[in-house]
Structure formats: C-alpha cells, structure tokens
Amino acid sequence: MALLGIIRRWYIRDRISIRGISRRLDISRNTVRRYIRSGAIDPSYLSRHSSSSLDEFAPRLSAWLSAEAVKTRK
C-alpha cells in the first residue's frame, strides 16, 4: 500500500504533524499514529478463498476446451 509510505515519508522526512497528515489524507489521526509506530512496511490482510458455482464442472469444461483446441477452426 502506497499510503503507508506516504505517511512515513511526510512524518519522518518532511516533519509534517500527525494532525496535518490526517487532514491531508482525510483519515483518522489514530490510523496515522498506528502506521507511524508500526514497523511494518505494508499492512497484511488474510486472503479469502470463495468457491465458485462452476467448480464442480471444471474437469468437464477443461476437457471440452482441450478437445476444441485440437480441432481446426473451420
């Protein structure tokens, strides 16, 4: 996330206050403070895996596609 880099650069290099950063980016002061204090480079989120309604038909579809790929266009 580029937001974390912007916050840290403004706070450390440009010496902008936490309140000034929160006003510029329109985010909470607590969020800015948490990003500055954290040693993390990017916030990490858990990845979600949702099943598709086509999952049960995947073998049949891939077989059809491989059969069609072998055939000529006309």
Each of the 74 residues of the chain gets a pLDDT tens digit; together they read 588 888 988 999 999 999 999 999 999 999 999 988 887 666 667 888 888 888 899 999 999 999 999 888 87
pLDDT of the residue at 1 = 56
Q: What is the largest CA-CA distance in the chain?
A: 68
Predicted TM-score (pTM) of the model is: 0.52
Enumerate the domain spans of the chain. Answer: 2-37
Listed residue (64, 43, 56) closest to 1, CA to CA: 43
> Which stretch of DSSP H or E encloses residue 45?
none
Q: What pLDDT does residue 29 have?
A: 95
pLDDT at 47: 82
Report the pLDDT value the prediction gives residue 46, as an integer from 0 to 100. 81
